Chains A and B, each alone.
Chain A
Amino acid sequence: MISTHLPILQVLVPLLAAPVLALLRGRTLSYLVATGFVVVAFLIAIGLTIQVVHTGAVSYAIGNWAPPLGIEYRIDELTVIMLLMVTGIASAVLIGGGQSIAVEIPERRAPLFFALFCLNVAGLIGMTVTGDVFNLFVFLEISSLSTYALVAMGRDRRALTAAYQYLVIGTVGATFYVIGVGLLYMMTGTLNMADLTARVSGVESTLTIKTALAFLFIGLGVKLGMMPVHFWLPNAYAQAPSTVSAFLAGTATKVAVYVMLRIVFGIFGIGIFTSSYLADVVIALGIFAMVAASVSAIFQSDAKRLLAYSSLAQIGYILFALGLATEAGLTAAILHLFNHGLMKATLFLALTAVALRLGRTRLEDFDGLAQAMPATMLAFAVAALSLVGVPLTIGFVSKWYLLAAAFDRDGVLVAAVILGSSLLALLYLWPLVERAYFRKRPAGAPEIEEAPLALILAMWALVAVNVFLGVNSQFTVNLAANAARHLIGAVP
């Protein structure tokens, strides 16, 4: 019986964790409660995945109001990929990050911190499962507001300005999204995604509907860190507490991309997307990001910032694949969405360990770290190689599909650009690995020990998933391919 209510429980569990946590005192208790709730959410995500794989898409009418009157939750292959990722990474970050949070967040604020963390998770999940464009906005705001506060918890005072900057541009982006929803609603009279899909095709030729698409696109573009409206991202990732960076880097932008997929392909359909030149714009922006952000990453002196720029570049890949507007392209985009989240979460978790032991993450701090923290650095190295696209990791699988998609439509030149950009990834990540493995710790550097066991376990759990899905990619590839087929077929 409970299985029919899994969709709503998926959101409710982390959502209800927040008020409960706000009532609590003490770090340990609130940590355990938050972790418990998030892990339960992960288990629910697994249950939903099994359900969807067996019986196909699940719909849940909240309040028993048949859509489009009420708000509908809709869960299909694409959704469960995101759910697994968001809840999985959240669990990994909480389980592994306990000690880091203890160091970075003062005892008195710990319950509130965890409450915000759970709200963030709930917001992202809510954005993922909802089938209603306005409900999406509400959960977008829940996740955004909690993110702003979480980023501001960073130890450096620049965390405050980073949070502020993110707040301003994030709110502008969200408001653009609302404008787009308004126009969409104006032309169709509904807010339900499935209903919109059916009704948009009737007004496909109007300018207004294209304008709606443009505004939704810009609004979400801000949230997903699309160049050139990306500038909040490096600051936010670099200044946030390490665990928050790890969680955000793995999930937040990915969920925004997911929403964009849902809206662009699920609601508007390929026809409008390609005929309005938006597709070409997206491809251009994607290629621009993969080159420009990779080059910027090379010149960063702080590892967190470096990885943040790398994220921008990887989002470029996803945008590019999305812009191809083919089944192969969407498969690649969805795959990379998932894979990149996994890789980035691992990398940032490794940085969490470094920050925990050294208090900072500048490049030169990595000298000789492999001797002091072998497990951490090995996880980092594997994830880094994965990001470059070395075989037997998920990064290779992504890259393969990206290239195949590029070949399918744009041919060799673009494929070469993608490969070139992955070489740049090698160029900016290799120095870290080399420093860690082939340099000596500077003389007089403090003795440090390996990261706490929980953190290592969290990292290696992600690495294990990475390698497993890298060698045997059937599961994710099939899910992604199915999801892509559904998205493409949503509007004939």
Chain B
Amino acid sequence: MTLFDPAWIDVAILAFMAIVAFVVALLRSVFASVMLMGIFSLLSATLFVILDAVDVAFTEASVGAGISVVVFLGAMSLIPSPKAHGRTRPLLGALVCIACGALLILGTLDMPTYGDPQAPIHLHVADRYLSESLEATDVPNVVTSVLASYRGYDTLGETTVIFTAAIAVLILIGGSWRDGVKAPARADKETGDA
């Protein structure tokens, strides 16, 4: 391992991401958290480029750092920032997270190492995509051919997910939902239970 091992870049970016995540956890300001979340996404997009996932990087940059932040800001313009408040169940949360993280790290010690070309993941299906897809689909971008053809059904599902989300947002805050706000308030008293 040399100082100039390209792997350092990954680790550096990941370290940056960790710092950002840590700051987000500490921050009280929701607005700043959202901005940092955008930066987090952007950092991850950079990392994805380094890790050869250009399509994912492109998408993460436009969605995570772009649309997502815009939607957050749009929502936050309707939701006033509340005052500072202590954490709920900080100990329990920490315990759960540490246990989960420990399980995850200790449980994966015998995983194939990073970048190992002989890992099973690269040998079975993926290998066939790389060798067969050009002939079968005439599309040199394997990600596209897998996305749209081999696993095109997943992508139909993905489109349906977006469709679902749009419909859901529409039904929740579309049209004249405010007219309905008063009615539930009355229903409240009738059906209230502890």
Chain A complexes with chain B: yes
Residues of B contacting A149 in the complex (Cβ-Cβ under 8 angstroms): 164, 167-168, 171-172
With contact pairs A156-B184, A156-B187, A189-B124 given, residues A214 and B167 touching in the complex (Cβ less than 8 Å): no
Using Cβ atoms and an 8 Å threshold, which residues of chain B touch A207?
106-110
Q: A179 near B154 (CB under 8 angstroms)?
A: no
A38 is an interface residue with CB less than 8 A from chain B:
no
Q: Which residues of B contact A122 (CB under 8 A)?
A: 160
Q: Is A185 an interface residue (CB 8 A)?
A: yes
Stretch in A104-112, A245-253, A406-414 touching the partner: A104-112
Residues of B within 8 A of A155 (CB): 183-184, 187, 191
Q: State whether the Cβ of A115 lies closer than 8 Å to any Cβ in chain B.
A: yes
Interface string of A237-257 (1 = CB under 8 A from B): 000000000000000000000
Establish whether residues B184 and A186, one from each chain, have CB atoms under 8 Å apart when the complex forms.
no
Inter-chain contact B107/A210, CB cutoff 8 Å = yes
Chain B 108-128 residues near chain A, CB threshold 8 A: 108-112, 119-126, 128
Cβ of B31 under 8 Å from chain A: no
Query: Is B138 interfacial (CB-CB < 8 Å)?
Result: no
Interface residues of A in 94-147 (CB under 8 A from B): 106, 108-109, 112-113, 115-116, 119, 122, 126, 134-135, 138-139, 141-142, 145-146
Instruction: Give the distance to chain A from B151, nearest Cβ to Cβ, in Å.
Output: 6
CB contacts under 8 Å to B, within A193-228, are 195, 199, 203, 206-208, 210-211, 214-215
CA A71 to CA B150, docked complex, whole Å: 7
* B125 pairs with A15, CB closer than 8 A: no
**Interface assignment of B18: CB less than 8 Å from any CB of chain A:** no
Q: Is the CB of B124 within 8 A of A190?
A: yes
Task: Provide the residues of chain A in CB contact with B163, threshold 8 Å.
Answer: 18-19, 22, 119
Of all chain A residues, which has the CB nearest B185?
A157
A-B contact count (CB 8 A): 156
Q: Which of A169-186 contact B (CB under 8 A)?
A: 179, 183, 185-186
Partner of B161, one of A65, A142, A152: A142
By beta carbon, the residue of chain B nearest A16 is B160
Q: Which of B107, B120, B124, B167 contacts A211 (CB 8 A)?
A: B107
- Shortest Cβ distance from B172 into chain A, in angstroms? 6
Chain B interface (Cβ within 8 Å of chain A)? 103-104, 106-112, 119-126, 128-129, 132, 149-154, 157-158, 160-161, 163-165, 167-168, 170-172, 174-176, 180, 183-185, 187-188, 190-191, 193-194
Q: Would you list the 10 A-B pairs with minimal beta carbon distance, nearest first?
A: A211-B107, A189-B124, A138-B157, A149-B168, A189-B120, A112-B171, A62-B153, A360-B191, A145-B164, A71-B153
13 A–B contact pairs at CB < 8 A?
A: A63-B153, A65-B150, A69-B128, A69-B129, A122-B160, A135-B153, A146-B168, A155-B187, A187-B120, A188-B121, A207-B107, A301-B193, A362-B191
